[in-house]
Structure 1
Amino acid sequence: MNAQQPLPLIGVTMGDGAGIGPEVIVPAVLDAATLSRCRPVVIGDAARLREAARILGTGCEIVAVPTPAAAETAPGRINVVDLGLLPADLPWGTLSAAAGNAAYEYVRRAAELALAGEIDGICTAPLNKEALHAAGHVYPGHTELLAHFTGVEEVSMMLSTEKVKVIHVTTHIGLIDAVNRIEPGLVERTVRRGHEALVRAGVMAPVIGVCGINPHAGENGLFGYGEEEEKIVPALETVRRDGIDARGPLPADTAFFLAARGDYDLIVAMYHDQGHGPVKVLGIEAGVNLTVGLPVIRTSVDHGTAFDIAGTGKAEAGSMIEALRQAAEMSTAR
């Protein structure tokens, strides 16, 4: 990046204020490496961030700003678009409809800012789905919320660690529903979104491994009812004709091992746990969640609200720092 080009402005949503979001945001946005890559602006609650800083024993200045453009980046300073939605006595580690509603509003505001070009990307701290639902916002999570706010009908979830990246054909639905939903068009679109995301991130000729649905990818019809041939193979044939190096269907029990040793740049998982389980074993501490297919850049930590340790100062900020790094990298590339 040349000296004249400003660092990207990244909106950091605070997530559920009763969880560890505020405690991972404070050290992450103060981190020197973060400030060398982007200009972070928190969209959340200034008072809650001050409380998190107190718990962490972190000396910093937390400044409410009216717009991201008004933020001044400096060591020891945290800029906040302060929505002021949380009650002052909100307990840590407790399910709260007020915190669920606030988390919803932080994401809504961030989407507005991104679509208006006031921020270059979004990085989200974790929200709690039960709290979100208790507030009357019935969405499975961030991915679906952002798709709603940006007017996009279909997006994909990608998890990224140092060793492996995985994109999901289906996510927050039951296993039987997932198998029923998988069809060649959805598989094809998922592969294309994953390929585009990797190219945008600088991998010019990604090698993509595509998992099967059944054990051993069906083993030539031995397991299942021909789902691989019916639902996956036609999609792979289509994308290959367009020059995308997509290989499979692969047995999921070996695909992630091969990706971790470098055989694949991206694994396509058919359903939630097929992708999440291996990724969390390989690198949850620095894992990042990306929403692929939005008109805005969005990354997130790959962990939850951790109510059991919220408010104790024990939360690790590594995943948030990595999520900010990838948000800045993808925003710059754009």
Structure 2
Amino acid sequence: MEQKNKPRIGITIGDISGIGPEVILKTLADNRVLHYCQPIIYGMGSVVNRYRKMLGLENFGFQQIQGFDQLHPKKVSVVNCLEEDVEFTPGTPSPATGNLARTALLRAAQDLKEGHIQAIVTAPIDKDNTQGEGFQFPGHTEFFTTYFDAPESLMFLVSNDLRVATATGHIPLKEVVNHITPELLIRKLTILDKSLRQDFGIQKPKIAVLGLNPHAGENGLLGKEEEEIIRPMIEQLKEKGNLVFGPFPADGFFGTRSYKKFDATLALYHDQGLIPFKTLAFETGVNFTAGLPIVRTSPDHGTAYDIAGQNKADETSFREALFAAVDILRTRAGV
């Protein structure tokens, strides 16, 4: 059944020499998507058409628009973000593909801020190749946090009963220990708790916190952060009525599927959370930026240059990201 007042979802095309355009088109080629949202691709019509032919999706139709008054409820729309066509080779990033990725992202973010679209789903970028005027960030998460003036955000990976957030993001591993403070953990857990309530409709979230050191420090034998920082912080939150537990040794926690007992898990650094998440839910995982006034999701994979242009990319994660954006919008609206 087609929804009334379908949300407009902006889709940034990412680095077109990666698998972004492929997973976008494979997702939108299923016309049932149009029952739930109005997809607007930020990129180039010529790129979409080239991938349409390359993938054999001859029946995939789209319209190129100049303004939002031209939107059609039963058509995928494309916003041309550059005036001239972009020459590119699948699998080989270039300054031109980085420029288009950056320009599309900035255009979509501006339209989101101005209320023309209701959410953004970002296809993968090459973070280094995308750097330039307007985008000098280590990733999408940091960009959206700054662009929408949020005091702080949270990288939040979700897939069915598995939800993993990271206390620290795109920073070198050697710097993680200096960032792990009670203040940081309380801020991140506060964002996580609020997101579980307002974005996922969980009234009393139960959250697990992982330890920093092997075996969660083994009572101080393998590191003191658990006893001096993490455990006291958890007790402080418990006294306020929060359902927060830990710290748990990360290996055993995921190995025994203990995450199933909780609504979400807070990992303390990027790979501690993303390695188990992608191992368990790579095809269905969604990267959601929690703590923002807007909704932004993405697939949990990268550009995958090694298979770009070969019709080998699995679109499941991107499709899940698109529907997650729609679901979060509806949950926030109380629908």
TM-score, normalized by length of structure 1?
0.92
Query: Matched residues in 1 for 2:84 and 2:20: separation?
Result: 14
**Which of 172, 191, 196 does residue 194 from structure 2 map onto?**
196
CA separation of 1:136 and 1:160: change in aligned 2, threshold 3 A? same
Count of residue pairs the alignment pairs up: 330
Distance 1:287 1:136, change over 3 A: same
Look up the match of 1:17.
16
Counterpart mapping for 1:69-88 below 5 A: 70-74=70-74, 77-84=75-82, 87-88=85-86
Displacement after TM superposition at 1:32 (Å): 3.9
In structure 2, distance between residues paired with 1:293 and 1:24? 27
Amino acid at match of 1:20: I
Distance 1:256 1:71 in 2: 45
Give structure 1 stretches of 5+ with no counterpart: none
Contact 2:121 2:322 in 1 (8 A): yes
2: CA distance between counterparts of 1:204 and 1:71?
Answer: 37
Instruction: Name the structure 2 match of 1:222.
Output: 221
State the shift of 1:113 in Å. 1.5
Q: CA deviation at 1:26?
A: 0.8
Alignment-derived partner of residue 158 in structure 2 = 160
Aligned AA for 1:297?
V
Contact 1:129–1:140 (Cα < 8 Å) also in 2: yes
How far apart are residue 36 of structure 1 and its match? 2.8
Choose the corresponding residue for 1:150, options 127, 148, 151. 148
Instruction: Give the CA deviation at 1:237.
Output: 2.8
Q: In structure 2, what is the equivalent of residue 117 of structure 1?
A: 115
2:206 is matched with which residue? 207
Shift in CA distance, 261/296, structure 1 to aligned 2, threshold 3 Å = closer
SS in 1 for 2:79: strand
Task: Quickly say closer, same or farther: Cα 1:261–1:212, change in 2 above 3 A.
Answer: closer
Q: Give the share of equivalent positions with the same residue, in percent.
A: 39
Other structure's SS at 1:52 match:
helix
180, 183, 194: which is aligned to 2:181? 183
Q: Which moved more, 1:152-161 or 1:130-139?
A: 130-139
Contact 1:101 1:137 in 2 (8 A): no
Q: 2:267 corresponds to which residue?
A: 269
1:297-308 → structure 2 map (5 Å cutoff): 297-308=295-306
Secondary structure of 1:262's counterpart equals: helix
The unaligned stretches of length 5 or more in structure 2 are none
What SS is found at the alignment partner of 1:41? strand
Q: Which amino acid aligns with 1:214?
A: N
| Paired letter, 2:310 | T
Deviations 1:153-209 (A, max 9, x none): 421101112341100001111112011111111111111111111112112222111
Q: Which residue of 1 aligns with 2:125?
A: 127
Partner of 1:288: 286
Q: Is the 8 A contact 2:288 2:296 kept in 1?
A: yes
Q: Deviations over 1:110-169 (max 9, x none)?
A: 221222221111111000112123789432111111122212242110111234110000
Q: Which amino acid aligns with 1:27?
A: K
Cα distance in 2, alignment partners of residues 301 and 181 from structure 1: 27
The match for 2:29 is: 30
Query: Contact between 1:8 and 1:328, CA under 8 Å: does it hold in 2?
Result: yes
Corresponding residue for 2:100? 102
RMSD over aligned Cα atoms: 2.1
For residues 295-316 of structure 1, what are the alpha-carbon distances to aligned partners after superposition, in whole Å with 9 as ceiling and x for unaligned? 1101000000011111111111
Q: Distance in 1 between matches of 2:32 and 2:260?
A: 27
What's the offset of the Cα at 1:34? 2.5
Using the TM superposition, name which of 232-241 and 172-181 deviates more: 232-241
Q: Given residue 56 of structure 1, which amino acid in structure 2 is its aligned partner? A: L
Residues 243-275 of structure 1: per-residue CA shift (max 9 Å, x gap): 321101111112224556621111100001100
The separation in 2 between residues aligned to 1:148 and 1:188, in whole angstroms, is 21
C-alpha distance in 1 between matches for 2:64 and 2:52: 15
| CA positional deviation for 1:16 | 0.7
Q: CA deviation at 1:240?
A: 2.4
Aligned to 1:330: 328
Residues 60-104 of structure 1: CA deviation (Å, up to 9, x unaligned): 222112244532132xx3211221367442111112122112212
Verify the 8 A CA contact 2:38 2:76 in the aligned structure 1: no
How far, CA to CA, are the matches of 1:170 and 1:231 in structure 2? 15
Matching residue of 2:7: 8
Give the match for residue 61 of structure 1. Answer: 61
Q: 1:22: how far off? A: 0.6
**Closer/same/farther in 2, CA of residues 260 and 311 from structure 1, 3 Å limit:** farther
Confirm or deny: 8 A CA contact 1:20 1:309 kept in the other structure.
yes
